[in-house]
Amino acid sequence: MGYIEKLKAGTANAETNRQREEEARAKRPPADPRICCQVPLKQQVQEYLLSQPPIMRNKPISLMALRAQLRAKYSNGKPSAGDLGIALTALGFSRKRDFSNEGGGRRFWLAPSRG
């Protein structure tokens, strides 16, 4: 067996081993038993917004209403308002306040197209 054939065989074996390790890692539970949600918060927000009808996507979003639809990483509870604000900012949302009598100074988030 020549040098090139040995390299090809070694590469094929290494690739097979790597695939086996990845499959085994995917089947294993997370190292930290407190982790209950593997999906990042930013991705959860994107998926939630895409699941909404277009008319709802263009409306201002209340942080508390959005929080009720998402899951935290380390508990069965809801994500913190700070983490959710960071995720929304990363997605291009802008934060506004409604200082009208009806709004009472409540904060809401505008989608990137409206920001």
pTM of the model: 0.63
Question: 8 is in which domain, residue-wise?
Answer: 1-30
Whole-angstrom Cα distance, residue 16 to residue 114? 49
Mean pLDDT of 88-99: 90
Residue 3 is which amino acid?
Answer: Y
Residues 106 and 63 in one domain: yes
**Span 15-28, pLDDT tens digits:** 998 888 888 877 77
- Residue scoring higher pLDDT (34 or 110): 110
36 within domain boundaries? no
98 within domain boundaries? yes
**Span 48-75, pLDDT tens digits:** 989 989 888 888 888 888 888 888 877 6
35 within domain boundaries? no
Question: Nearest-CA neighbor of 44 among 28, 67, 65?
Answer: 67
